[in-house]
Structure 1
């Protein structure tokens, strides 16, 4: 093909193009036919679905409108308020009559419920009421709970129907109950039938709540309408509903079928609404389109063949011949060494002549342009040499002849200017950091990406690390200064306390010696007391023995006194008898008269003797009774004395035991005091050592304070961002997070360095890089529950995705505009990642402070 002439190439190309266009035209038109066919099916599917949806929505709108209208009836409200069903029946009867007269609704079905979800009145079955609807009428429960309307499809005994449920409230906005307006879809099915289509409302048979006649069953569905197109139904029984669901529409030999889902107000699928259209109507448009396409294909074939023939003839006569002439002239010019001396002769005034004229002018412009471009290129070489040496103060001043070269000059000058600006700003930041101005603001450079952006990002990370370290040093130094001051004061107090303790220990040691001597004396006294106690015990035993003997003597004395008492009683009796005898003698003497006077004297004497004997006996008896009483008292005293001696003996034994305990304790105290004395001596030595250590600690505290002051002086000579203190609670995170930032900059640079044309590779995903591994390892941390953590995951994922996009754009040779749009977005998202890492560290520190 390369050795063919232009005419042959043109002819071959024209033939190939013509044949290709014919083939392509055929396939395009055929594909268009197929697409048109699919488009007709899709449009028909959309049309049927739209019709079904709109007609059902219209029914729903009518239902809710009627429900609201009926619920506002005053008699309905009063019937609920007064619990008067008769009033409600009357109201519905009147409303039904009006609707039959003025609306298409000839037999309305209205169900009124109480606010606790119980049936109040069914218009079609007014004898049935009071049943609880809570378990199976979710729409009624929803309306009575929220006092908001619900307009939905719902399953009933008759299958699927439209239920428009609205709340009933009185004039004071008190909730009384709810009202339900029920509709079927027969009117929708009839409206489809009028235009030659069909409509079927099918309920999922698993939701049926009552037994259904077999004639209403259709596979896994139940027909929920009375009006049925039997011809379509017979065909519908044979279709594959699963295929219909998967493809959204279905065709057989007779009908085109489509469907929409029927859902309740909670979004639960209850069934489907199937629509159909005669397949003949569908194929009419497709057949007409096919005829038009084949006619167009035939016209295209004829047009292409004629155009090919005419083009070949015209090409040979009017293009090839002048071009050959131009070629011969150019060959002559080609053999000349300079452009200045050779020009092509113009032989015609047509387009070829214009081309020759333009070519001659082009040769002239090339000659002058080459010189201009040479001057600019030489100047560019000099300027680039300066740039390579780091001198960015000069620019290319000459203008090139070539627009491309001039554009390149402009780009080079812009590159130098921008690089000078960027590096100057970066240099200012580095100088500030070198002067310990860690809070020096780092400017945001719009549109910056690549290595310069990485250098700027790395500087920001370095500055952040420096700020955090300075905050950490400042905070630690403040604590160190306070600790050193407290340590100095504490060591001084410790030294004073140690000296005071040493003096106290000396006094304590002296007191212990005195106590030891006292205890020794107490021990000796206790030993003597034990001896005295033993002597008292012996004396007590002797006294006890004597008391026993006294008791026995008193017992014997009591016996003898009793004997005397008995004898005195005898004497008293004798005196009494003697007195009686003397009285008898006196009586006898008085009887004897003079002869008995002597006997009377004797009787008187005897009576006196008896009287004195009685008196003496009485006195003796009194003495004996007194002696008996005293003997008894003596015995009791002796008994008490014996008891006292027993108690005394027990007390003496206890006293002896106590004395022995005191003696034992005294010995133990002697041993304890000896140990205490040894301990006090040890404490004295330790106290002396503590005093020495306290002095050393005081000296060290002074040195620490001096170092803290020097360090604070160094810190004061720097300036840093105090806000970084909110991030330094976890020192490990200072280095870990900033290293992760640096790693991410390296990740970007490493992948950017490998980007080139036709070179595709896969970068690490957002779980494989170091930052991703750290995120995965900390996903259960407390700070991972924050919104910032979720934003970090998104931004981090974006960075990896866009780095991969950059690799792909380079590999596919996309222009700079596309590449820059992605790389600039990478820099923005890297800054977002870095900022979110800082905010997460701040959240972590706040949560630790709360603990």
Structure 2
């Protein structure tokens, strides 16, 4: 196509467009034809379905209204209340006659039920009643339970039919039963047949409750549930594929186009289908009309495109190709200098003529532009020579002719201005650092990368290192100041304590002599105490023997007192018996009369003697009991005394043991006091040496304080970042991480310097650079569990990846904006890495 002439290109393109338009038109119109055909079939499907639903709904409406009307008949209500079936038969007969005369219903079927679901009256079979409907008439059971009307398809012995079941209430509003209005579907089928269409109601064969007539079965699955049937329609229906009809909801045969709707009962269970159909003669008529219109439109489109194509070819050749050829010949003449003219003659005043005029003006502008651009280039060479020498004061002021040269001049002036400004910022920062202002913040410059950014990053690392070193010196100086003061104070106290210690040693020596004398005397006293303790032990043994003897004597005394007590008891008993005998004698004497008086006197004396004996025995008994008690108490006292002697014996043994220990301790103290005396002599010698050391330490403390004062003077002449104090706990880590910062600047510079068009190389992996190796070595440190460490891992990996992308962009010759944006992201990430490394130092010091 590139080597073709305009006429060939135009012809080829126009022909291609024409053919393509014809093909697109054909397929488009064919698509619309198919779409229209589908629309016709869908319209038929919707029309048939709607017609079936509307006509069935009309049957439902009539059924429910008739059922309600019949259920409100007073005679039927009264028949149910009084259980009078004859009255109900008369009422239904009257209603049936009225409907035959005034409605299309000539042979109505009404079934009345009691409220306990038993048949009360069947209008078509009055003699069959009383049977329980609960097991197979769910609609009747539902109405009697809920007392609400139901309008539904339901399977019965007669097949599938419309059942309108309503509750019946007495005049007082009490539920007394239900009424069912039954309809077939024949009228719907006849209505379809009158429109030369087909309709058939089919019940699911598995739901049949009576014997099945095989001639009413279709596809061995459905049972015909209507009496009126168009035989031609039925024969054609048998020829269709039922499975395809059920899946697509549309099926065409030789004579009809079929569709169907589902038939469901009041519980939404599918009980059958209603198939409707429209003759193909009607269907194909609409399709054929649409096809004819589309075919005519396609012919008109093809003819129009061909005529347009031919006219366009003639017009292009006469009005475009010929003037362009003339313009080409004129330009060739100017280029080959075959004529002296510097311009092209204008022969046409159309668009091509305008092009010639513009071309002539362009030739004039080229000559003027070349002259202006030469002047600008000369001024640019002068300014750039000054810039190379380090002078950024001048810029290019002359205006260029071409936009490209003007853009170049603008870029050069902008480079001179920005470079000078950036170097001034770096210079000012270095001056501040030279004034020992180490807290000077190194400014950030937006849009800068490469070496300028490396200079700024290097300044940041230098400022951070010096600031941290100054913070470390300041902190060390503070601690050194405190230590020197403590050292001076310690040397003073050491001198004082040495003097006090010398005096104390003298007193200690005197005290040791006194203690020695006391220890010897304590030893002698311990020997005497041991002798006295032995004598006490002997006396204690004698006391124990006497106590045992007393215990035995008291035991014997107690036994004898008990014997006396027993003897007194005998005497007391004898006195009691004697008293009884004297009473008996007095009684006998009184019986004897005068002869017994003398005996009565004797009996009285005996009784008196018995009473005195009893009193004496009583007194003796009390004395004996008192003696027994005191003997027992004496025995207890003697037992306690014996226990006391035993305890005294143990105490004496303990005392003897203690005296022996005291004696041994005295010997040990004599040995220890000798050692103490030697120690005191050693301490006296050490005290003299301490006094000499105290003098030397005092001199060292004074020198240290002078050194601290000099450091304070140096530190007071500088300033540094107070935040640096948070990360100086580990000096080795300070220099390590700051060195790793510088290494990463070198890494970036090294790779950026190698960038050039066509260069293809791989940068160092983020695990193999020095910072990456340090990260891998310290991944188990406590600060490696922080969010900052995770950010460092992500940033560090990202820097290596972005440097690689920058290198690739440079080598691929990508646009400057892409390269600079990627390089700027590298600079931003490096700055953030420096900040995160400082934060890790702080975490390490927490």
TM-score (norm 2): 0.47
TM-score (norm 1): 0.47
Larger-Rg structure = 2
